[in-house]
Amino acid sequence: MIYRPRYNVADTPDSFRATARALAAGRGPFAIDTERASAFRYDDRAFLIQIHRRDAGTFLIAPEGHRDEVKAVFAPVINQGEWVLHAASEDLVSLGMLGLYPKSVFDTELAARLCGFQRPNLKAVVHQILDVELDKTHGREDWSTTPLPTAWLEYAARDVVYLNDLADSLAELLERAGLLDAAEQEFSHLVATRSRPAPRRRTWCDMKGISSLHTSAGLQLARVLWEARDCRARETDTSPAAILPTPVLLAIAKAVPSSPVELARVPGFPGRDTTAVEQWYRLVEGALSEPERTWPTVPPRSPSAPPTKSVWQRRYPRSWLYLNEARSRVAAAARQLGIPPENLLSPVTLREVVWQANVEERSGEISAGDAHSVRNRLLRAGARPWQAGIVAPLLVAADNEQRSAGREV
């Protein structure tokens, strides 16, 4: 049987103030979650904020139309407090957009990963630790809907009522495993990198896959189409992907269509919608009619940026073997710790560090296997001290293994 939690809805300035007073009178960390509507709306702002605190209760705060008031009322109460969240990364961004920032966080999803949970989602972790069944059927709803149905509100409340108990249990497990300090470093990193006054405004260069475009014409189309899509999405408060999915936009840029017929044939484009074909082809024509000297150019690859897999394998075979040996050793160490390899060190960071070793060694600056330099390289690349302490000796061993095998650069 699904538990039906008790909660209070706050959707007016007066109810915000009453909620803030109740939260201030509670004790312990603030268990917080947000519900967003980024699949439907222009940005990732929160349309519902759920807060639970011991001896205070559970509160569902609807900020739309009152965002300045939400900041003014709640910031003095919850800012600089300890927050408990599950998968905090996106929640911290949307709360930062409201001027709400924690002093520290406990991320139960990240903690569950470090504790070795194979399924660290909230439903699975709550069931495994607290023996409670969570209903997760409303996670993909349009939370900008007003009024929100009662079933959705109950779902939202359930997402926070168990978080403090969950954090207490996970903290005990982390301490037993000797990973509590590592978790705290990860939590501090989350606050430092995700809890900011406002996210940087996106540009066309931020599109995932933009690096697949290798011509000025393609980049010009990507820029013009992205800016047109962004303008329409912002004006109508609609998700950009609902107007034109990014993979389709990039496919158009790669194809550089020379007619409406060619545009209609681009995979994923609504080619049977004649209005859409006309509107988007006008943009294509306009973009390509601009003077070529104004088109974006393909930026040269930075020497410090890791190359593609094929280039790395072909031109730097010893470094490529070093990367693969390092991956194997990191994966083995992660298995011993009972955590996912990406939580011991992200694949992006590993690639960056191994490539930087290759750059420095080829320039004669340093030995790739110098333990002190490897640790510093890891820290510069964003690894936390606990990660660098474990991984640096693994990378030194991987490099020595390649050298002793007599493999040449």
* 199 domain residue, yes or no: no
* 23 domain residue, yes or no: yes
* 1 domain residue, yes or no: no
Lay out the sheet containing 27-36: strands in order across: 8-10, 57-61, 46-54, 27-36, 82-85, 104-107
* 72 domain residue, yes or no: yes
> The domain that contains 348 carries what CATH number?
1.10.150.80
> The domain that contains 150 carries what CATH number?
3.30.420.10
Q: Are residues 271 and 326 in the same domain?
A: no
What residue ranges of the chain have pLDDT lower than 50? 366, 407-409
* Enclosing domain of residue 223: 204-294
* 304 domain residue, yes or no: no
* pLDDT one-digit tens code per residue, 27-86: 999 999 999 999 999 999 999 999 999 999 999 999 999 999 999 999 999 998 999 999
Strands 46-54, 27-36: parallel, antiparallel or unpaired by DSSP? antiparallel
Q: How far apart are CA 408 and CA 406, in angstroms?
A: 6
Q: How far apart are CA 52 and CA 26, in angstroms?
A: 9
Among 135, 165, 194, the domain-final residue is 194
How many structural domains are present in the chain? 3
What local confidence, expressed as pLDDT, does residue 171 receive?
98
Q: Are residues 146 and 210 in the same domain?
A: no
Q: Are residues 168 and 258 in the same domain?
A: no
Amino acid occupying residue 29 = P
* pLDDT one-digit tens code per residue, 189-233: 999 999 987 777 889 999 999 989 999 999 999 999 999 999 999
Residues 6+ apart with CB under 8 A from 261: none
Q: Are residues 226 and 374 in the same domain?
A: no
Query: Taking Cα atoms as reference points, which of 76, 34, 81 lies closest to residue 54?
Result: 81
Q: Are residues 113 and 169 in the same domain?
A: yes
Q: Are residues 64 and 188 in the same domain?
A: yes
Query: Contact, 222 vs 210, CB < 8 A?
Result: yes
What local confidence, expressed as pLDDT, does residue 299 receive?
77
* 19 domain residue, yes or no: yes
Q: How far apart are CA 88 and CA 115, in angstroms?
A: 17
What local confidence, expressed as pLDDT, does residue 372 receive?
83
